[in-house]
Amino acid sequence: GDRVVVAPNISCGQCVWCQRGLPNHCDHFTTIGIYKDGGLAPQVRVPAENCFPISSDVPSHIAALAEPLSTVVNGVRLAQPFPGQSAVVIGAGPAGLMYAALLRFAGAMVTVLEPSEERASLATEMGAAHTIDPTQEDPVGAVRDLTDSLGADVVIDAVGSQLPVAMQVVRKAGRIVLFGLGPARSDFAQEDVTRNELTLVGAFIGQAVFPDAIRLLEQHAEDFAPLVTHRVGIEELPTAMEEMRAG
């Protein structure tokens, strides 16, 4: 009878990576709702250790954000923002919007690079102090203008193809978190990383992130509400899925 959210990723617990405490790199990694049936069904059978209690005060459509938010929690931990620092988030999809919120919670001044007017507006609602349309103005110059010509302390690539841009908007000795997964291959001068003492880290799912994500949803449910722009019934689902596939 407990109300829970489900961490959908399942690790074997026995391979060398699981034994080293890195279940997100499990050799036999699988996911409920992707590789295993489940998710869009009235009932689903999941391992008990993948169930995390969540307050009944959190509306269901907000509680459903726990899994993507948990991966962003991991990325923000790696970014190590500090109050008063500047942060740039590239891309204002669902993950980028969550990054904007969490970086704001951490006390950073957040700038979001996003060409979609609708998503840029949501970024402002989620806590971005500034939004920049990179198709209308030079994002590098705009970020420099906002940071006394230094560049951002922290840059998040929430798209998965924006490392070259991230390298240009980050300050010397700044941190870049590569979050988005995409097929892009980036050419960049390795000497720039060395000479400017940049820190580049990848952020993939994370370890023990669900409790923090749930606590954030319980404490800030209203702050995450703008992320849910549509609510679709089961009977409408096939049409909605086709719309999603079409972009």
* pLDDT computed for residue 39 by the predictor: 77
From residue 175, give the alpha-carbon distance in Å to each of 68, 75, 82, 144, 151: 22, 11, 12, 16, 11
| Average pLDDT of span 196-201 | 97
Among 88, 53, 83, 104, which Cα is nearest to 213's? 53
* pLDDT computed for residue 182 by the predictor: 81
* pLDDT computed for residue 89 by the predictor: 98
From residue 245, give the alpha-carbon distance in Å to each of 10, 134, 241: 26, 25, 6
Say whether pLDDT at 206 is over 90: yes
Say whether pLDDT at 215 is over 90: yes
Query: pLDDT tens-digit profile of 134-143?
Result: 999 999 999 9
What pTM does this model have?
0.95
* pLDDT computed for residue 13 by the predictor: 94
Query: pLDDT tens-digit profile of 158-185?
Result: 999 999 999 999 999 999 999 999 887 8
Mean pLDDT across the chain: 95
Query: pLDDT tens-digit profile of 71-110?
Result: 999 999 999 999 999 999 999 999 999 999 999 999 999 9
3-state secondary structure of 164: helix
Query: pLDDT tens-digit profile of 6-20?
Result: 999 999 999 999 999
